[in-house]
Structure 1
Amino acid sequence: MPYPSTHKPQSREKILHSAAKLFSHQGFDNVSIDNVMADAGLTRGAFYSHFPDKSTLYAEAITYAAKNRFAKYTRGLDPQGRLAVLLSSYLSREHFEQDTNPCPLAFLATDVSHRDPLVRNTYTRVYQGMVKWLDKLSSNSPMREQCLAATALMIGGVAIARALDDSETVDELLAACLQQSLLLLEGGANANG
């Protein structure tokens, strides 16, 4: 009996979900194809009907994770409301302590720098998309430099917070990054002076 037409897309979705989760927390080198497929509840043989190799999966998992991470901020709120929700949710303990759906930009920043051009290009495109999206969400039409600085605060803040073992410092860091990101994106000329 043949599989329904939805089987292959659903299997691919399971693989990408598992890969995004595992890679985000363990990095490329510490996750095998077998790990991903076991987490997805599928056999290793099914992997190759979806992806030619682990590096391609890694690149696609970065895009998948980013789309899923930011999709919830695009529904039901005006652009300015989405920006406030995005920044406060992104720069929160809940974000970096969660098991699923973390931002690959923050969770994989150092890991990606050691990967092949396909992976680095994917990461670059996701990052560029985040910069453009912040610009669209801001009511103040910030300059590109302000969006670049805000994304650096967001991504860097989460990446550093994950490495710290002092709760008070983590909270201070996240709050400072949130305040400065809001100032950059909504403070206009005041952010520069």
Structure 2
Amino acid sequence: MAWQETHKEQSKDKILKSAAMLFTHHGFEKISIDQVMKKAELTRGAFYSHFSSKSDLYAQAISKAGMEAYKRKPVNCPQNMKDFAKYYLSKEHRDNNYQQPCPLAFLVSDINQQDDQVKEVYTKTLKAFIDQAQSLTVNREIALQSAVLMIGGLALSRALNDEKFSDELLAACKVGVNSLSNKEGSDVS
């Protein structure tokens, strides 16, 4: 029946959106299946018709988080690497607890503890991010360096309890990306 398939897909999407938000803000260990299902406004039983385990949910939620974070970027951004860094390394991105943050930065320290399925999804998400950066430069090395500065900068700035220092770190990483962008076309190796 068409309604049931549509309903099942809608339920899975609600679960994934719930899990993506909760996991990116709190990590794998601090979030339970019950918490995910409560936020999705579904029963725990619905979980088992979509996912084989919490780890399976986590892997799929990382992918969902990456897609949702990509969709929330400002219209016409990124036009270039500098605009991309300005948006990505913003205080709003770091501090916003109500919209989907980037799982690459928000889960970087959590991924190493996970299984191969989760690491594979994280790797694919990182490669997609680098491809996005690569579309803004002709130099793959600049794309890689910029991606690392953005993801690492956001992750570190979020981990700090000193807002002024955190802001300084974000600003320094933006300058770093801008500096790399200014080397466009030159040999940076």
TM-score above 0.5, yes or no: yes
Aligned to 2:17: 17
SS at match of 2:79: helix
Tell me the amino acid that sits aligned with residue 26 of structure 2.
Q
Q: Is the 8 A contact 2:111 2:118 kept in 1?
A: yes
Tell me the amino acid that sits aligned with residue 35 of structure 2.
N
| Alignment of 1:91 onto 2:89 | yes
Q: Is the 8 A contact 1:15 1:40 kept in 2?
A: yes
Q: Deviations over 1:88-116 (max 9, x none)?
A: 12101111211230100000001001100
Aligned to 1:26: 26
- Structure 1 residue 190 displacement after superposition: 5.7
Alignment of 1:10-159 (within 5 A): 10-73=10-73, 77=76, 81=79, 83-99=81-97, 100-138=99-137, 141-142=138-139, 144-159=140-155
Q: Is the 8 A contact 1:112 1:123 kept in 2?
A: yes
Q: Deviations over 1:120-178 (max 9, x none)?
A: 0110111011111111123xx12x22211111111110111011122221111111111
Structure 2 Cα separation of the partners of residues 129 and 93 of structure 1: 23
Q: Is the 8 A contact 2:59 2:118 kept in 1?
A: yes
Structure 1 Cα separation of the partners of residues 13 and 96 of structure 2: 20
Structure 2 Cα separation of the partners of residues 68 and 84 of structure 1: 22
- Structure 1 residue 80 displacement after superposition: 5.7
Q: Which shows bigger deviation, 79-88 or 174-183? A: 79-88
Q: Is the 8 A contact 2:94 2:154 kept in 1?
A: yes
Structure 2 Cα separation of the partners of residues 80 and 109 of structure 1: 23
Q: Is the 8 A contact 1:184 1:191 kept in 2?
A: no
Tell me the amino acid that sits aligned with residue 160 of structure 2.
L
SS at match of 2:49: coil
Aligned to 2:184: 188
Structure 1 Cα separation of the partners of residues 178 and 54 of structure 2: 38
- Structure 1 residue 37 displacement after superposition: 0.1
Q: Deviations over 1:15-41 (max 9, x none)?
A: 111101111111101111101000100
Structure-2 change in CA distance of 1:65 and 1:82 (3 Å): farther
Q: Provide the aligned length of Structure 1 versus Structure 2.
A: 188
| Alignment of 1:179 onto 2:179 | no
Q: Is the 8 A contact 1:56 1:118 kept in 2?
A: yes
TM-score computed with the length of structure 2 as normaliser = 0.89
Q: Is the 8 A contact 1:96 1:162 kept in 2?
A: yes
Structure-2 change in CA distance of 1:191 and 1:66 (3 Å): farther
Q: Which runs of 5+ in 1 are unaligned?
A: none
